Structure 1
Amino acid sequence: MDEGNKLQFPSLPVSKEDLLDWAYPMRREMQEILPGLFLGPYSAAMKSKLPDLERQGITHIVCVRQNIEANFIKPNFPHTFRYLVLDIADNPVENIIRYFPTTKEFIDNCLATGGKVLVHGNAGISRSAALVIAYLMETFGMKYRRCGCNPLTLCCVHTRDAFSHVQERRFCINPNVGFVHQLQEYEAIYLAKLTIKMMSPMQLGRSFSLQAGMTGSRKRSLEEDEDFGAMQVTAAQMS
């Protein structure tokens, strides 16, 4: 890629709240991961929590659940907040990557209008945490985790990572192993997507010419990756 087309990302903002010493009861509360972006459990969005949500200035909520949870994890305030409801199972074989673009668009639209958004599942540990981590990765160009080197030696440019940033604010997060693998894969997917957006028509033409010269198996592999990263998700949005 030409130097002028080098991907650039905004700096990671610091939330207004200072990092607090983690205590077990905090699992049942929501924490601010970025200014305006909160992560927590369903208990932070229950009907009894409306005063807390309004005090925090919440305007949007991402509600993560699967069908069997719909009776007890639900949008409780459809006339007060804008909802994005996602049907995701906390299962290592669940394809959570397909929900990342929809979630990012919802969060971006919220923050761009001065709103604040809460992302919650049941416990706020696996599914919702994975969605927030993916949002940080794509928005700020972060890796899921640092490489294994000692960051104090400055031998690695990746001195910040999305998982650590979220865990510092909500210590109990623990995406399941399948979600972890997909978050690791997502770095290449979102970088490729952003790179294509920045390329000029001439650069795209050269890229397609190179792809046309690939062996059939390699070309099919790339096409499958693109299809996997571009899968659309149907999510209920209520206003």
Structure 2
Amino acid sequence: MGSASSSSCCSRNAKVATVGTIQSNKPAKKAHFIGLCVKPFQLPIAADGHISCADLYNLMNDANKFTQFVHHPLYLLILDLRDAAAYALDHIQTAFHCSSVASGIINENILNFKHIVLYGVDTSLGSNERAESAVRLLEDAGAGFVMLVGGYTEFEKRFPFLCNTVTIWSQTERERKVTTYPSLILEDWLYQGTGNQAKRERLIRSMGITHVINISTEFSCDLPGVTYLAIRLQDDASSKLLDHFEEIFEFLDGVKRTGGKALVHCNLGVSRSSTATLSYIMLSQTCTLLDAYKFLHHRRPCCAPNRGFFLQLGFFEEYIFGKKFTDANQLWFAV
């Protein structure tokens, strides 16, 4: 059979509401998913020495287990290799112009940065003298760095809300001025994040989010113009999130088909929202729980469904394919 996203076995009448809540307290309708063929689903890997726009976006935000370090000056160094005039006009948030690489604060810590990303107009290094000098300095120091695939042109096209004219040096300035956004899961329409992010209207508007799945008891669904699916469940191993997997699929599949953008959230964006996202990936990509988890963990390393949710996902895998491929218990212990 083809991808589940195009299967007619899903009903398309999931109830949704704009500026309101959908109390999803009943099991979703049973559909005949048994017998779908498993397809390999792998990460889109950039070539050696390069990083994709999606991965840089997630690196800049709260997708990882080291969120508390995102604002630390030594966490991520982004260097703009374009000419100074282009940098002054607009650049990726927190980026420095390549001419700054020789300055004290950067040069003295060149080997202490956890990540170093360089970008030009496109994927190439460019040919201006300052860019070449900065690259030589990094290479001579033995500092590892990667080039941004597509450069500034591609990044600004996809994430304009992460480009500005501000130059930020200190951690205090970063904490005060830099907004952390939800993780990008499926380009460029499905995001996963926290309840606090979901309630920030300016953030939601800047990202172009049109639909939100709220799996929490802590947060309301009240942003104007946003279509919500509310599933009121606790992050508890006994909560039956499995009963809502097909409903979640129908909601998100509708968003994708109509060209919208969706955010899936719970409280911390770790357990309930990860479970919902995994169920959608498994069904839409007809992939195993293990492949779906590897993909989501790459995009949002803090993802960690509780044991009960992992077992429900294992049951869902068997329900979709008529066969068990992933040991959900073992996967939970490995997280």
TM-score band, normalised by shorter chain: 0.5 to 0.7
Alpha carbons 2:214, 2:228 under 8 Å: kept: yes
In the aligned structure 2, how far is the partner of 1:135 from the partner of 1:29?
21
Alpha carbons 2:281, 2:287 under 8 Å: kept: yes
In the aligned structure 2, how far is the partner of 1:84 from the partner of 1:143?
25
What residue is the counterpart of 2:296 in the other structure? Answer: 166
What residue is the counterpart of 1:41 in the other structure? Answer: 194
The AA in structure 1 aligned to 2:213 is V
In the aligned structure 2, how far is the partner of 1:171 from the partner of 1:11?
17
Q: Structure 1, residues 90-147: CA drift from partner, whole Å, max 9, x if none?
A: 11111111110001100000110000000000111000100000100111111112xx
Alignment of 1:176 with 2:309, yes or no, is no
Alpha carbons 1:9, 1:139 under 8 Å: kept: no
The AA in structure 1 aligned to 2:277 is V
Please, which runs of 5 or more residues in structure 2 have no aligned partner? 2-34, 45-51, 71-179, 323-335
Alignment of 1:31 with 2:177, yes or no, is no
Across the aligned residues of Structure 1 and Structure 2, the Cα RMSD in angstroms comes to 2.6
Is the partner of 2:255 in helix, strand or coil? helix
1:18 Cα deviation after fit: 2.4
Please, which runs of 5 or more residues in structure 1 have no aligned partner? 146-160, 193-239
1:179 Cα deviation after fit: 0.4
What residue is the counterpart of 2:91 in the other structure? Answer: none
In the aligned structure 2, how far is the partner of 1:171 from the partner of 1:182?
20
Is the partner of 1:65 in helix, strand or coil? coil
1:10 Cα deviation after fit: 9.7
Change (3 A) 1:6 1:61: closer
The worse-fitting range, judged by mean Cα deviation, of 5-14 and 161-170 is 5-14
Alignment equivalent of 1:76, drawn from 222, 233, 242? 222
Alpha carbons 1:59, 1:117 under 8 Å: kept: yes
Alpha carbons 2:181, 2:203 under 8 Å: kept: no
What residue is the counterpart of 2:251 in the other structure? Answer: 106
Is the partner of 2:288 in helix, strand or coil? coil
Change (3 A) 1:109 1:9: farther
Alpha carbons 1:137, 1:162 under 8 Å: kept: yes
Matched length: 166
Is the partner of 1:17 in helix, strand or coil? helix
In the aligned structure 2, how far is the partner of 1:44 from the partner of 1:137?
25
In the aligned structure 2, how far is the partner of 1:80 from the partner of 1:126?
27
1:85 Cα deviation after fit: 0.5
4+ aligned runs moved over 3 Å, structure 1: 5-16, 19-23
Q: Structure 1, residues 166-201: CA drift from partner, whole Å, max 9, x if none?
A: 111111111000001111111111224xxxxxxxxx
In the aligned structure 2, how far is the partner of 1:172 from the partner of 1:91?
18
1:17 Cα deviation after fit: 1.4
Change (3 A) 1:125 1:81: same
In the aligned structure 2, how far is the partner of 1:124 from the partner of 1:114?
24
Alpha carbons 2:194, 2:266 under 8 Å: kept: yes
Change (3 A) 1:6 1:124: closer
Alpha carbons 2:36, 2:286 under 8 Å: kept: no
- Percent identical across equivalent pairs? 29
Alpha carbons 1:9, 1:140 under 8 Å: kept: yes
Alpha carbons 1:64, 1:86 under 8 Å: kept: yes
Output the TM-score relative to the length of structure 1.
0.62
1:16 Cα deviation after fit: 5.4
Is the partner of 1:172 in helix, strand or coil? coil
Q: Whose Rg is larger? A: 2
Is the partner of 2:191 in helix, strand or coil? strand
Is the partner of 2:316 in helix, strand or coil? helix
In the aligned structure 2, how far is the partner of 1:89 from the partner of 1:37?
23
Change (3 A) 1:187 1:8: closer
In the aligned structure 1, how far is the partner of 2:43 from the partner of 2:292?
13
Is the partner of 2:222 in helix, strand or coil? coil
Alignment equivalent of 1:86, drawn from 231, 235, 239? 231
Is the partner of 1:38 in helix, strand or coil? strand
Alpha carbons 2:38, 2:287 under 8 Å: kept: no
Change (3 A) 1:17 1:94: same
Q: Structure 1, residues 195-232: CA drift from partner, whole Å, max 9, x if none?
A: xxxxxxxxxxxxxxxxxxxxxxxxxxxxxxxxxxxxxx
